[in-house]
Chain A
Amino acid sequence: MTAATLFQSILASLPEIVVVTGACILLILGQLVPKGQGYFLVWASAATVLVAALATLLLAGEVRPAYSGMFIADRFAVFFKMVFYLSTILTFLLSRKYAEIEEIALSEYYVLLLFALSGMMIMASATDLLSIYVGLELVALSTYVLTGFLRKERRSNEAALKYVILSGVSTGIFLYGVSLIYGLTGTTQLDGMAAAVTGDPLDPGLLLAVVFIVAGLAFKVGAVPFHMWVPDVYEGAPTTITAFMSVGPKAAGFAVILRVFLNPLVAASDAWIIVAVIAVVTMALGSFVALVQDNFKRLLAYSSIAHAGFALFGVVAGGADGIASVMLYLLIYAFMNLGIFGIVIMMRNGDFSGEVIEDYAGFARSHPGLALLMLLYLFSLAGIPPTAGFFAKFYVLVALVERGFVMLALIAVLLSAVAAYFYIRIVMVIYMREPEGAFDPALTLSVRATLAITAAGTIGIGLFPAWFLRLAQHSAFGG
């Protein structure tokens, strides 16, 4: 590797380098900052992300392959990185007060989030099964520690343990698929894979390898049958981390899935049938099981399974519109899901956990404004216009019908009617019941800012989707 190509590679991965360097510096600074100066860490972390975002935007102009085909900085990656930055910054803003209340405001908390972010960024840019693996593990390890951050709580420890074991198994499956690919084609580069197949592209060995890779990735996005960890981990983790995991790493998982599925090798195999089945079952399971949940975090966990199922329908649709529909879906999901999680996080104050749905009875009477926001996020999650959630689903359906999958679109739509039921049930609790206790939300300025941003995104993209749609389509073609 010459100095020039090395420089090019460094340039292409500048945002990742910024984030990792920032995280390392903060790791050291965190030990030096005196107690009670926690806000410094928040703002320093946020600043790191903003610098990375700036670097990403400056580099967005052209496609830059780097590190001998292991890594690429293209518009597809830029789009996903923006989703990651958004979810990370909003998580920082939501975390500040919550971390103090839960007594987990350690510098490692923010540093680990930054490391998870860098892992997600690598996943979005990876063009080699091995660099995908590196990103995947970086995210998994960071979030594993963060899940167990509530050290005094048993369920948090349990969740972390469950996560690390199951995640390890899924990584094993993924790596097995990678090794099969390497054995059959002699390459791990996504571009090289299709070209390297000399014989039948429907070789059972290759199909098996693809199945293993799909299985490993399905775990990361919480798709059935690898979803078992999601409710427990989401419930046990600190709520801010749950919010983060449901948006950021999940989007990263989809980035990888899309990259792999853009690959002609996979496209030539009949893997889409597997994905279609996974999508249907995932959405059905998420929607139906969510119906009987009493715990808000668990409900949102199942809801996120259902949403992953819906986004997978976009993967099934494939093609430029299919890919763009998944990307837009994830962006919109980031806004609305962080919004609703923001409310749950804000409710954690004093003795109030904010986790039991029944506890929200009569919330509309005591806090009409916040209740209206909840209404907005919930209707958006349910996919009712004119919210962004509707447009997200609409575009996936358009992509499905465009490819002739009308039956699948019909199934998706009927299952979202089921899913609507449990979102509306929460609306009912907050609007149509008498309040039982007083509410004292931990409504700091940064939480307000988060809610404002997410609300603006949820309603703004719903009313004016054109620009975001163009962005997603534009970015998808670049992949």
Chain B
Amino acid sequence: MAFPLLSLIVFIPAAGAAVLMLLRNDDQVRWTALGVTVLDFALCIAMLAGFDTTTHEMQFTETRPWVPALGITYALGIDGISALFVFLTALLGWICVLASWVAIDRKVKEFMVSLLAMQALMLGVFCALDLFLFYVFWEAMLIPMYVIIGVWGGDGRVYAAFKFFLYTLAGSLLFLIGVIVLYFHGGETFDIRALMAQDLPFRVQSWLFFAFLIAFAVKVPMVPVHTWLPDAHVQAPTAGSIILAGVLLKMGAYGFLRFSLPMLPEASLYYSTLMLSLSALAIVYGGLLALAQDDLKKLVAYSSISHMGFVTLGIFTLNLRGLEGGILQMFNHGVTTGALFLFVGLIYERTHTRSIADYGGLMKAAPVYTTFLALFALSSMALPGTNSFVGELLVLSGAFAANLAVGAAAVLGALLGAAYLLGMYRKVALGPASVGVRFKIRDVNARELVAILPLAVFVLWVGLYPKPFLNIIGPSVRHLLTQVHSNGGGQ
């Protein structure tokens, strides 16, 4: 067996969490957590360095029997799509640690343990090549996230944690039934690669498609099962919001890519119009809601719904540009919205208010902060030269090819995005310096800058030179498309 790189990547944070339990000093806890996440990130870079971008095959695979009686294996492996998200998860991992450095001042140890456990589970989801293993990681994520929101969240944290838990649990359980049905129809195996090769009858595919859809739609979240998201986001601590926006929301879209499309190609093609309409609805509806918000965090949360609409839109165009754009947009959304939540957190730490009306003229008090905020706001509204521009352009061109009306609606959503983001920036950063009078604002410090800079680098890197990123996902996306169209071609 080859070097178990992926196992290391997945379990180093878990081992780190175990080590943290033994520590007593808060600062020791912080530095250890940072060390563990940085080490994990370094391993991910090594993984990318050794990643073969010419093939769609799963790489770094590991397989061991786990529950042989039921055909369950411990199987890890990544293709281009998962590689990108493994990398994103590890990147946001240490940024989350930095973001909670002073923001979390009670039960630091427990918080960092939850954070690291969360990271291990998320990485596990992206690496799992066994459906059962995938489900275990997928569902176990609920525990640390529930605790993170519920213990360290804002005033309404208990309600938000509950709502988050029950929505995602109910969705996931339907997915579980779908998984078991798939197991019996797919030759009694949980091996994802073997299941992709199965050709299921259309009727079965349809049922499974909707069982999966409910689970994934809750995670994405798609309208109308999105209502847990604003609550969870607003109440969660900064690091929790970053994880939610950066990685957790990607799980749903990843589910579509990994299961719905390749395993249920006929159904995916058949119901793609429905999915496109739902996505367009999410884009416009989320944009309108964001436009109406006065709470900074809520604004970013609703903008997430809109942006994730672009992701699902891209995926269900089922053409090359749309799919590539959707996946790239997942990565971009992780970077950009993660950064925006970080910025909301930074300003909240200083002022303890999130109401946009309370701010104004921040530019004078915190020039570095507002400069970077401008960059991420522009990235979020997909200005050329930033990462989201590339993603949205690909998605839109795919969408127009797939369905004219949906494409038009998406353009409207993009316009809305410019409206609420520019409005937000104007009210927060520009104008007379009312904020400096009421609050003592200091600009970002070195530690915060360390968290911000890599995100800014990715915004510009993807924006100006997206080729390396598209290279990573390219072969996998093309293979995915062949799977969908050759197997589902009958429709």
Contacts and interface: CB of A to CB of B under 8 A. Distances in A.
B408 interface: no
A414 B170 contact: yes
Q: Which of A375, A417, A465 has the most CB of B within 10 A?
A: A417
Given A384-B143, A385-B135, A421-B166, A397 B161 contact: no
Contacts, number: 82
A285 to B, nearest CB: 19
A397 B180 contact: yes
A386 B174 CA distance: 18
A398 to B, nearest CB: 6
Interface string A376-419: 00010000111000100011011001100010011001101100
Contact of A379 (B143, B174, B183): B143
A470 interface: yes
A473 interface: yes
B69 A466 contact: yes
Q: Size class of B's contact patch?
A: 20 to 34
B109 to A, nearest CB: 9
A420 B140 contact: no
Interface stretch (A110-118, A234-242, A267-275, A424-432): A424-432
B177 A428 contact: no
B69 A410 contact: no
B481 to A, nearest CB: 31
B177 A424 contact: no
Contact of A431 (B66, B67, B150): B150
A119 B136 CA distance: 39
B173 A416 contact: yes
B180 A428 contact: no
Contacts of A432: 150-151, 157-158, 161
B136 A465 contact: no
Mostly helix, strand, loop or mixed at chain A's interface? helix
B169 interface: yes
B419 interface: no
Given A401-B181, A431-B147, A410 B174 contact: yes
B162 A428 contact: yes
A156 to B, nearest CB: 35
A265 to B, nearest CB: 29
Residues of A in contact with B, size category: 20 to 34
Given A432-B151, A469-B70, A390 B173 contact: no
Nearest to B180: A401
Contact of B68 (A409, A413, A466): A466
A421 B162 CA distance: 8
A14 B181 CA distance: 45
A368 interface: yes
A395 B139 CA distance: 16
A413 B139 contact: no
B110 interface: yes
B64 to A, nearest CB: 11
A405 B157 CA distance: 39
Contact of A413 (B69, B110, B136, B173): B173
A409 B182 CA distance: 14
Given A424-B146, A432-B157, A417 B139 contact: no
Contact of B166 (A375, A397, A398, A420): A420
Contacts of A424: 146, 162, 165-166
B151 A386 contact: no
B184 interface: yes
B430 interface: no
Contacts of B65: 466
B176 interface: yes
B142 interface: yes
Contact of A470 (B69, B135, B136): B69
Contacts of A417: 166, 169-170, 173
Nearest to A391: B67
A406 B203 CA distance: 14
Given A420-B166, A421-B166, A428 B174 contact: no
Interface of B: 65-70, 110, 132, 135-136, 139-140, 142-143, 146-147, 150-151, 157-158, 161-162, 165-166, 169-170, 173-174, 176-177, 180-181, 183-184
Given A375-B143, A409-B177, 11 more contacts: A384-B143, A394-B132, A397-B177, A401-B180, A401-B184, A413-B173, A413-B176, A417-B169, A428-B158, A431-B147, A432-B151
22 contacts: A375-B143, A384-B143, A384-B169, A385-B135, A394-B132, A397-B176, A397-B177, A397-B180, A398-B70, A401-B183, A406-B177, A413-B177, A417-B170, A417-B173, A420-B165, A421-B166, A428-B158, A428-B161, A431-B151, A432-B151, A432-B158, A473-B69
